Amino acid sequence: MLRSTGLGATKTTDFCESKHRDFTPAALGSGQSFAASCINGGNADFSDIRKIGLDDIIGEERVGNFANQLVAGIRILDLKIDSSLVQNLIANQFPDLCSLPVMPIKKQGHDNRTFRLGDELTVRLPSHPLYADAVQKEAIALEALNGQLSVEIPKIFGLGKPSKEYQLPWSIRHWLAGETLEDTQVCDKSSLARSFGEVLVELQSVPADIFLSAGKHSFYRGCHPSVYSDEVIESLRRMGDPTKKKQCLEIWQRGMMSAWSNAPVWFHGDLAVGNVLMKGETISALIDFGTCGVGDPACDLTIAWTYFDAMTRQHFREAAKVDDNTWSRAKAWALWKALVSINGLSGPDTEGVQARALGEIINDDC
């Protein structure tokens, strides 16, 4: 049973909501509007993407940083999130838990700040207003997915409401033991790849007609990757290596040639190595469903290039039962993330993860 302090229900929206951005070549200045950023029913025409050329990308600068557009018009709160704040929130809204010690976890994520609350609970607070809507949405998702997968997922203990001291919703969850895949040395990556693919098939098989369709709440994960075409174009414009630029453009174009035409399915939205928990060499849990939803599952396959190598990537693809078109869109999603990180349109690639992923993407013939 979910404990709540009064947050309202989340409104269900249409597939990819109303996010229709001018897609290339309009974004490149050809004057043609190609509003196919999020596919509704898989009926959009992608033929105009063939008109993109390297000359268009090298030309006039057109910065389309979607993250900056999302921030526009939102009052940025000065969110000082520390143990003292968490203790005050617990005391005011969950007084029966106020005797439990509060301790920040060592490795924090970008979207949320997480604190241990005693031995069995955690407190999770959005780091920015952009991520606030995910609190209620994720609670609904986790309730719907509870017991549906062979691995664990977080369980919500209770939902906290906005207050004067912290003006966003927040949540208390049950603690899940395990090390992240990022911090785990895996010897048998082929077995892991197969297990990972099988978990994705399980996720996509959960009945999906009761939940939010992909859109703004998922940062357009589950929509068509062309939603971020402006950022890809700007990233390619900034690249100095003409050979690599041509290779990336060809990969991006292939990803634009198809759309998900099946019924929308569940996707996680952020299957990074930090959101997969391990016990030994076995996947024990998936965490952080803040960008999940229902739509095109291609966005969940990017770990094929950010973590697996050529051989294990093939095992992953086979276990996940991925067709050629979905694989091409997945590669486009991975390409977008690598390009914006490397070319300064997103957070810096300080550890070289996305640079390595770009090499895997370019050299992949899977």
The average pLDDT across 319-328 equals 98
Please state, in angstroms and rounded to a whole number, the distance separating the CA atoms of residues 136 and 281. Answer: 32
CB distance 25 to 34 below 8 Å: yes
Alpha carbon dihedral 315, 264, 300, 120, in 10-degree steps, equals: -110
Identity of the amino acid at 214: A
* Per-residue pLDDT, 204: 98
* Per-residue pLDDT, 261: 94
pTM: 0.80
Q: Which of 180-194, 199-213, 218-232 has the lowest mean pLDDT?
A: 199-213
For the cut 50, the answer to whether the pLDDT of residue 10 exceeds it is: no
Structure tokens at 28: 């490149």
Please state, in angstroms and rounded to a whole number, the distance separating the CA atoms of residues 44 and 35. Answer: 9
| pLDDT one-digit tens code per residue, 246-256 | 999 999 999 99
Identify the band that residue 94 occupies on the pLDDT scale cut at 50, 70 and 90. very high
When mean pLDDT is compared over 30-44, 162-176, 206-220, the highest value belongs to 162-176
- Residues 6+ away with beta carbon under 8 Å from 68: none
The average pLDDT across 231-246 equals 95
* Per-residue pLDDT, 296: 98
| pLDDT one-digit tens code per residue, 33-90 | 222 333 333 333 333 333 333 333 333 333 334 344 333 333 444 578 999 999 999 9
Residue-averaged pLDDT of the chain: 82
Residue 61 or residue 287, greater confidence: 287
Structure tokens at 189: 């990556």
For the cut 50, the answer to whether the pLDDT of residue 171 exceeds it is: yes
CB distance 313 to 327 below 8 Å: no
| pLDDT one-digit tens code per residue, 98-135 | 999 999 998 888 889 999 999 999 999 999 999 999 99
CB distance 38 to 17 below 8 Å: yes
Residue 284 or residue 210, greater confidence: 284
Percent of the chain scoring above 70 in pLDDT? 78
Q: Cα dist. 22→157, 188, 335 in Å?
A: 42, 44, 20
> For the chain, how far is it from start to end, CA to CA, in angstroms?
45
Residue 20 or residue 334, greater confidence: 334
* Per-residue pLDDT, 110: 82
Please state, in angstroms and rounded to a whole number, the distance separating the CA atoms of residues 82 and 311. Answer: 44
Structure tokens at 293: 């939803």
Percent of the chain scoring above 90 in pLDDT? 71
CB distance 230 to 64 below 8 Å: yes
Please state, in angstroms and rounded to a whole number, the distance separating the CA atoms of residues 55 and 316. Answer: 36
Query: Which backbone phi and psi does 29 adopt, to 5 degrees?
Result: 95, 15
DSSP-H helix ranges across the chain: 54-58, 66-71, 83-93, 134-145, 189-205, 229-238, 242-255, 303-306, 310-320, 324-342, 353-363
Which neighbouring-strand residues pair with 174?
A: 121
For the cut 70, the answer to whether the pLDDT of residue 7 exceeds it is: no
- Transcribe 278-330 into DSSP letters: EETTEEEEE---TT-EEE-GGGGGTHHHHT--HHHHHHHHHHHT--HHHHHHH
Please state, in angstroms and rounded to a whole number, the distance separating the CA atoms of residues 197 and 213. Answer: 22
